[in-house]
Structure 1
Amino acid sequence: MPELPEVETTKRGIESYLKGYTLETVKIRQGRLRWPVGEEIQALEGQVIKSVTRRAKYILVEFEAGYALWHLGMSGSLRLVEPSEVENFGKHDHIDWELSSGKILRYHDPRRFGALLWVEDPVDNNYINHLGPEPLSDEFDTAYLYEKSRGRKAPIKTFIMDGKVVVGVGNIYANESLFLAGINPTIPAGKISKARMEKLVLHIKQVLAAAIEQGGTTLRDFVGGDGKPGYFAQQLNVYGRGGEECVVCDKTLKEIRQGQRATVYCPACQK
């Protein structure tokens, strides 16, 4: 599933080909996504794109009258293709935006859990207005997370993956951040001290910033190819390494399930 760093990389990869250009043609081959694609999207033909930004895992494309929101869901991707490829589309290439920049923005989604939505206000809408702060913003700090966690019985990993608490800390990044902070993922969020919470906030920011930075190296190849930034060439300490040796203490990493997701941690290093 594309997480915040993957969505940020996608946003950066397409921005220069959209901003300031006209959306000339909208082709919807399959509009039955997570939510049906509304008529407002088709009506965008002929309008100029004013900006391309990101909020949580939404890519917001600004027009004069409002915003188109792309969400990649579990298997979606956006890539730029040449006009010569307009008729060369696959079964799961559901939407094309033909741009005056000379490129086509193509949405590919085998599982169709993504979405293309229309909102008039980028903040006050049902998709975004309930979300927590961005993890790399100043709003997300030790004081905020510590106060938010008081009295919470949910395991700390589940807590930091809650988009109402903070956006974009997906499973990979939650595993890695907790390992670096030395915190056992099963501990109730409300029982973690302020000092330990400070370490966790620091490592969440570092892990996500590093993932985005590594993703930046794929931008030169974003036009063409499969358009998928992937999960980058990270040196993962725990994620996907259940049963292997800890990189710090050589003890065996333990793998459990939390909220139907794999959690891997070191019982010796993470207390």
Structure 2
Amino acid sequence: MPELPEVEVTRQSFASRILGAQVLSLRMGKPLRWPLGCDPGRLEGATVGAVLRRGKYLWVPLSPAGVSAESPPEGLLVHLGMSGALSFAKSLGPAGPHDHFELDTTAGLLRLTDPRRFGAVVWGASMASGLPARLLAGLGLEPFDEAMTGAYLHQRLKGRKVSIKQALLAGDIVVGAGNIYACEALFMAGIDPQLAAGRLSRARCDRLVLAVQEVLHQALAMGGSSLRDFKDAHGSLGHFQLSTRVYGREGEPCRNCATAVRRMLQGQRSTFFCPVCQKK
């Protein structure tokens, strides 16, 4: 599943090119997770604003023709699902059987390709109303938010009996620490992924916040991770998976102590860790 780095890399790969373009048409293919929520024709002539990211969602603002620029723009909330990808180019050729959304603009065509159809494109009068607001309501802090500190994490983890790995994946405390990045951050912070979240000390929370931010910075710099078929809107692959310290390295020597990296299942997700470097 595309995680925060992959979604942010995708945003960066087309946001500046589509900014200010006018919508020529919108086409929906086979049904996605939720219906669009409006007549596609009503978006024709709208101007595309600055594309934003919130967690793993993208918000594409659309200012309808004739509406005051001071009015909050309506827009489209986009989620890539399990295996979706956005493409943007002047010409992308005919739509294929897995292309389920196309926004044709004066700057080019934005297309969502999603073989499994777990992705979504939904209209909203704003990010703060309707279905977009409900989908975004439960999200935690962005990892680079100034409020994302060890003190904040320590407070939010109090009393939680689930493992720290599961607490990170839940997304209600901090967004962006998906499975790959949670494994890597816990290794960097020296924390056993099975440790009960509520048992983390303030000092370990400080280290974990810094580790999450460092891992995500590295992933963004390397274009995200392409474990299966992730590509940005240019069609470029990510390379973070080539430099992981524990993820995907079961049986290989730990880069710190040479102990064999182990794998276990937590919540039906594979967790990779070093039994020596990561302490309870």
2:112 corresponds to which of 107, 113, 118: 107
1:122 corresponds to which of 121, 127, 131: 127
Identity %: 42
Equivalence for 1:208 = 216
* Structure 1 segments unaligned to the other structure (5+ residues): none
Give the length in aligned residue pairs. 262
Q: Please state how far the C-alpha of 1:129 moved relative to its aligned partner.
A: 1.7
**Structure 1 259/121 Cα, relative in aligned 2: closer, same or farther at 3 Å?**
same
SS in 1 for 2:210: helix
* Structure 2 segments unaligned to the other structure (5+ residues): 64-72
**How do 1:58-97 and structure 2 match up within 5 A?**
58-64=57-63, 65-83=73-91, 85-86=92-93, 88-97=94-103
Q: Please state how far the C-alpha of 1:67 moved relative to its aligned partner.
A: 2.0
1:181 paired to 2:172: no
Equivalence for 2:66 = none
Q: How far, CA to CA, are the matches of 2:105 and 2:240 in structure 1?
A: 28
1:172 paired to 2:180: yes
Kept in 1: contact 2:142–2:174 (CA 8 A) = yes
Kept in 1: contact 2:10–2:233 (CA 8 A) = no
1:131 paired to 2:130: no
If the length of structure 1 is used for normalisation, what is the TM-score?
Answer: 0.91
Kept in 1: contact 2:143–2:176 (CA 8 A) = yes
SS in 1 for 2:278: coil
Equivalence for 2:252 = 244
Equivalence for 2:22 = 22
Residues 76-111 of structure 1: CA deviation (Å, up to 9, x unaligned): 00011333x44x22211112111111x111110000
Equivalence for 1:54 = 53
Q: How far, CA to CA, are the matches of 1:54 and 1:67 in structure 2?
A: 13
After TM superposition, where is structure 1 displaced by more than 6 Å over at least 4 residues in a row? none
**Structure 1 199/48 Cα, relative in aligned 2: closer, same or farther at 3 Å?**
same
